[in-house]
Chain A
Amino acid sequence: MIQYFKNIFIAIWTILVGLKLTFKHLFVRAVTIQYPDVKLKLPERARNRLYVNIDDCIGCRQCEMACPVDCITIETVKALPNEDLGVTSTGNKKRLWVTRFDIDVSKCCYCGLCVYPCPTECIYMTDVYEFSEYNRHNLIYHFSNFTPEEAELKKKQVEEFELEQKMKKAQKPAEASVNNPGAGS
């Protein structure tokens, strides 16, 4: 019987204690922020959207290799001997045209593994994190300066050049064989 009244008393008392607490919180400053209007400062080394400074890229494919989800696609074309691509800002000599450099950020898991091996430090994380799209294909970022047509053109050029080289090479042995009938067949 005593326990019964005690229980009732405790019930009422705890309700009052609870009410006091919630009432106090009614006037506590909200801990949430108005997100699109107010944004929290990101930590210094936050990993968000990738960016590639294509002018510095030497097309070494180390980032493509490192990516665990294979979301980087790189295609390169050798530069012709008469073309000078210049040097990167870190002083490395550029020898390849990067005709395609696509990152599918919809697959990217922001691990940052592609950032470390880059010899010229041209692929890095930015602090942009609002880049949602209505179409998934818009999430494939094209960093290369080449349009697909230009890339095609470049490839053809190189192929032609290589063909030319081959022809030259093929011609040379032919000339040699005239002078020296014993060699070759």
Chain B
Amino acid sequence: MQDFLNMLIASVIPLLFILVYAVVILWVEIKVASHVQDRLGYMYTGGFHGWAQPIADLLKLLTKEHITPVNSDKVLFTLAPVIVFASSYAAYAALPFTSTFVAANLNVGVFYIIAITSFVVIGILMAGWSSNNKYSMLGAMRSVAQIVSYEVPTALSILTVIVVAGTLNLQEICQMQKGGLFNWFIFKYPPFMFITFLIYFTASLAEVNRTPFDIPEAESELVAGYHTEYTGMKFAMFYLAEYANMFLVSGISAILFFGGWNSPFGDFMSGPAWGVFWFVLKGLFFVFLQIMLRWTLPRLRVDQLMYVSWKVLTPISFVNILIVGLWALLK
């Protein structure tokens, strides 16, 4: 019983975090978007700069009618958003939020995350195919092609970090980077770890379907891609999964390259509580960067997308892993 309770608490904390974070980041995204375009954005709901608007949006989505298209595959149609969200939620289990809290301290943490997030592909393909709609279908196909091809550079760049760290356990990777700014992996083997980070960041952008790699959702071409037919809470699940994924990849960037929950000032401002602060701050910073990129860059064409993955990121990450590996070996 005690075990079960512990497990329940450990699993509810990331869920709560995702929900709260999603509401906040929804607001931030809209506000950043409008201010980048010299507009004001939400101003009314709740008073200060419309802070309650995402809550209202969420309530609206919750109360909306569920529409299931007549010619869709009902079971898969309903299952798809659940799988998409569950797979990104499950990945949170291995994220060390602080030195004392990680829902599942796995020895194969990194591997687990890479494996479990691949489930998103199945969910997306399910959603696209079961909707029985050409836009959804095309969106899903594109999404799968994109995620599968960008998984290669992502995995390779993560592997580079593993070579340096010598462990797959995310908590241990964090512990290795203790002791201030210059112990972070990003500053190791200059400039190769930095290049690794760039590759990881670019590839992870593609993995979460964010601009400039948002061709699966490409509003102007595909209506909304694989979630065109979804309404109400099922649609919200996709949204939630997208935002959860954004923080997930950002959190992994923070852990692998920027010291996770470590304070940049060594022992100053460090400890379990500060750990949460630093980790979330770093994660949110990369989420913010992703949002900024969305409002900065235009969307890539499909062939350009493949070019970036197979002809730029993959070969460079191969060379990178060789050099870093050799350097680590010779040291």
Mark A residues whose CB is within 8 Å of B: 8, 12, 15, 18-19, 21-23, 25-32, 34
Contact = CB atoms under 8 A, between A and B. Distances in A.
Given A8-B312, A26-B32, A26-B35, A21 B40 contact: no
B43 A34 contact: yes
Given A22-B292, A32-B38, A32-B39, 7 more contacts: A15-B293, A19-B292, A19-B296, A26-B32, A26-B36, A28-B35, A29-B38
Given A8-B312, A15-B297, A23 B39 contact: no
A25 B37 contact: yes
A29 B297 CA distance: 22
A119 to B, nearest CB: 48
A25 B292 CA distance: 11
Contacts of B39: 30-32
Nearest to A24: B36
B295 interface: yes
Contact of A25 (B36, B43, B297, B312): B36
Interface string B24-50: 000000001011111110010000000
28 contacts: A8-B312, A12-B198, A15-B293, A15-B296, A19-B292, A19-B293, A21-B296, A22-B36, A23-B292, A25-B36, A25-B37, A25-B38, A26-B32, A26-B36, A27-B35, A28-B35, A28-B38, A29-B38, A30-B34, A30-B35, A30-B38, A30-B39, A31-B38, A31-B39, A32-B39, A32-B40, A34-B40, A34-B43
Nearest to B307: A7
* Majority DSSP secondary structure for residues of A touching B: helix
Contact of B297 (A18, A30, A32): A18
Interface in B89-132: none
A23 B292 CA distance: 8
Contacts of A32: 38-40
Contacts of B198: 12
Interface in B165-207: 198
A26 B38 CA distance: 7
Contacts of A12: 198
Q: Which of B39, B198, B296, B297 has the most CB of A within 10 A?
A: B296
A22 B40 contact: no
Interface string B7-34: 0000000000000000000000000101
Contacts of B297: 15, 18
Closest 8 CB pairs of A and B: A18-B296, A22-B296, A30-B40, A31-B38, A22-B36, A32-B39, A26-B35, A25-B36
A18 B289 CA distance: 12
Contacts of B296: 15, 18-19, 21-22
A21 B40 CA distance: 18
A132 to B, nearest CB: 20
Interface string B289-316: 0001101110000000000000010000
B46 to A, nearest CB: 15
Contacts of B295: 22
B284 to A, nearest CB: 16
A27 B37 CA distance: 10
A25 B39 CA distance: 10
A22 B32 CA distance: 10
B301 to A, nearest CB: 14
A9 to B, nearest CB: 11
Nearest to B308: A11
A34 B37 CA distance: 15
A82 to B, nearest CB: 62
A89 B228 CA distance: 65
Nearest to A31: B38
B34 to A, nearest CB: 8
A13 to B, nearest CB: 13
Contacts of B292: 19, 22-23
Contacts of A18: 296-297
Contacts of B36: 22, 25-26
A150 B37 CA distance: 58
A28 B36 CA distance: 8
A146 B178 CA distance: 89
Given A18-B296, A19-B292, A19-B293, A25 B40 contact: no
Contacts of A22: 36, 292, 295-296
A12 B191 CA distance: 15
A2 B113 CA distance: 37
